[in-house]
Structure 1
Amino acid sequence: MYEDGCDDRDNFENEAPKWPPDNGLHEGCEALVGKVNDNLGQLIAHGGRSAYSAALNELERTKASFCAAQIKMAYLFEKEVVRDHEERGVFIDESERGAASAVAMSRRQPPTGARSYMKSCRILVEDMPNLLLALDLGDLSERQIFAATSPLQEVNAEHRREFDQLFRTHPEMFEGLGVKAIGDTVRKFTERFESTTKAFQAEDEASKRYSRFRKSGNCVMLSAKLPLAEGTALCKSIKQRVNELRRSGDPRTKDQLMADMLICSQIEGFPPKLPLFVDIKLIMTDKSLLMGDREPANLPGYGIIPSQYARELVAGAQIRVNDYFHEYPEHDDLALRIFTFPEIQRLYTAPGNQDLIAMDSKAREFPDAMKEFIKIRDVHCRTPYCDGIIENVDHVMQHYLGGPTNVKNADGRCQWCNLAKEQPGWFEIVVHEQPHSMRINPGDGAIYQSLAPPATGVVRDVIPPILPYGYRWQRE
């Protein structure tokens, strides 16, 4: 007998397996697939850079359409499984049991993450038709779609439908974004509904802080969980010192320096003791800070944080005069942990705008303050679809071609992309200053748009321009 009470084992064993299945989808499309392969063969044999680039893009869009079809069929497959279990009266508390594993095998994927895949399929089909349509049309890839649905699993169907309508109004919101940037964008939206809950969760996680050492071969492995603000400050302090030593010609690798900064308290020029006197850049709207608005804040070096936690972070950054501890509640033992004295630097936007204001310099090299500004503004590497960490701040239009040293003509790039953009034929130009937008031609004829993410909000709202003083409305 099977686990569900059905004795179909004999029928299963007696039936000769047929593989590949008769009249399969791929075989039914054999003529079409053959024609496509013939065209691709001709393209591969006689094409050029521009043709290859266009074909790669078109194939990616086609893959996305097939992924959308897989999502719809996986959703219907699960529905069939649920219906079958209900008719048999089995697995009442877990009616979708087995569907995720079966779908994973059909897609030749490991079962790990199959449940999350099926949950995303349900979300897309039931609550987010516009996002699913973008995948069906090839405007977004499967990885981009699932980067968006992952944070949306934490909110209810009503809020998911609200985001889907927002995407319908602003279909360009994910254009050129990598999966990390898309996840950050969606989290800006979801954090609005769970600001207080997320703040409690952050405080609860801080109470579970730890550091653990274990032997591993000929070394000792260290793992730790630190509170959000203190962990971010420690990371930034160490990285700052590592960059200083590398610029001074230190022969150690970056990883070696990171380890040495963590364990050594007497390195020349490095603060021998904690606390860490570092600054923390906190980006939040005035309404979130002063009026209890739920618009999330951004903690550069960490990411999106709930507005409630950001308010508590600002309020908690007080230093007593007599001793050097934070003002934490007496019942909390946080004063005994590694602590920081962060200088909270608030970065504001221009009135009626969602983008950071500018800085300028006449030097060829970008000053440190301006580099920090660019890293905060751009968040990730500005190459479209790249989620790399910004390691270089460079001129969009090269300095030797007359490009000025200011935030309008600057962008943040990871090390890999910073080298790639120097190849012959690669051209970039600033299109708009506010919001900062640039156009990229990698030399193959394709044109890509790179837009800095809004400092606040999920998408840029259309706001009427500020009218000059004395202007009078004219009624028709």
Structure 2
Amino acid sequence: MRIEGKPDGWTGPTTVPVSDLPAVLPSLPSLLSTHEVEALDESALLELIGSAERAKSALAALQARASATLHNKRCRREEAGGVPQAQRGRGLASEIALARRESPHKGSRLLGLARALVEEMPHPLAALQRGDVTEWRATVVVKETAVLTAAHRRTVDGELADRLPDLGDRRAGAAARAIGYRLDPGSSLRRVRGAHADRCVTVRPAPDTMTHLTGFLPVKDGVACHTALTRAADAATAAGDDRTRSQLMADLLVERVTGVAPATGTPVALHLVMDQQALLAAPTDAPPSAHEAAAETAAHLDGYGPIPAWLARRIVRDSDRVWLRRLFTDPVTGQLAATDSRAREFRGALRRLLVLRDQTCRTPWCDAPVRHLDHATAVSDGGQTTYAHGQGLCARCNYAKELDGWSHRPEATGTTVRGPTGHSWFSPTPVHRPPGRAPAPAPSPRRSPAETHLAALIAA
């Protein structure tokens, strides 16, 4: 790796052997953190921001080259070992995701981007390496040419080579798409078919205990839904309803999807994770004072995330039918109280407890919903069907851990994930304790009446 554009007075090396990069790069964050920027003037600060952005792009290019090379090396090794072609490289995207602290889904996209840049689109890769474009702009170009053949993609690459550094994200994507349409008119139909196959409904948290419910729909269906809600809201307004049009459309959406009007109350299955303080709190659903709020434990609503305890109580009060399952946390560790099972599968209360403890996939940085409950150590290797040895995983991560070279080792405070290269990552067991609250003193060996009652509730 050659260092170019050296400032006046530079006395450092001009090249770094590639074999030294794995040892040099880990020290870069600490090296950069030691530099104070307050002494720089405005011009120097702006120059620093731009230089840092170009350096980020160059590092992204280095990651792309390393990822593509790793994929090729892995596939060649597995080919020599007799692995069928369709199975070569399986699990590699998950390794790259862990190394980059990303989800496995994004790891797949990053590996696909790397292979496309290195193998088919050298000009965006060169621009990225020079710092002339951002990683996202290169991603946009690759994404817009995904339906093209390798030959057509190389043509797009050549035609955009000189223009790409001067284009913004939107114009770069539009230019790549326009060239693709000219080279392969049928690509537009394939894009539509691919998008239609990806239709879905997703939910993600929004501020102030709201959610974003998003439908990715064909244009005719999306417009039809919006038009129907608009007309119904206008009719309600004409009939004297004092809610705004936006409020009416939101309420009508809930009513038409669930079959229950919001004013009636939607049936709720509410899982509340609470500690003993919340268990013994006064049963009020009024918002607490600032002092009370600081000491009150947040509840966890399965499928959404943390909500204020007073809001959880209000949801319970306002719902016509409520299934309330309360789970209690250990006052010392902050972890959910454990149960035990002698079965080989995680079922019933133990399954629900594990899902509520982990909340999302236990693979570091994955964050996908829990789909599988599995043993950290396989039953065939001595794993036990217990709370301590169970973990919630998404389907992808559960399948990945069964591949050669992967292992999950349960420990007292979490699980260590080890990949085929020998690298390991630690996944701590989620702690359900309000931020800033210190652990409670360790309990005495003798159970108090409250502890006995609590154990009976958990075992029920």
For this structure pair, what is the TM-score category when the shorter chain's length is used for normalisation? 0.3 to 0.5
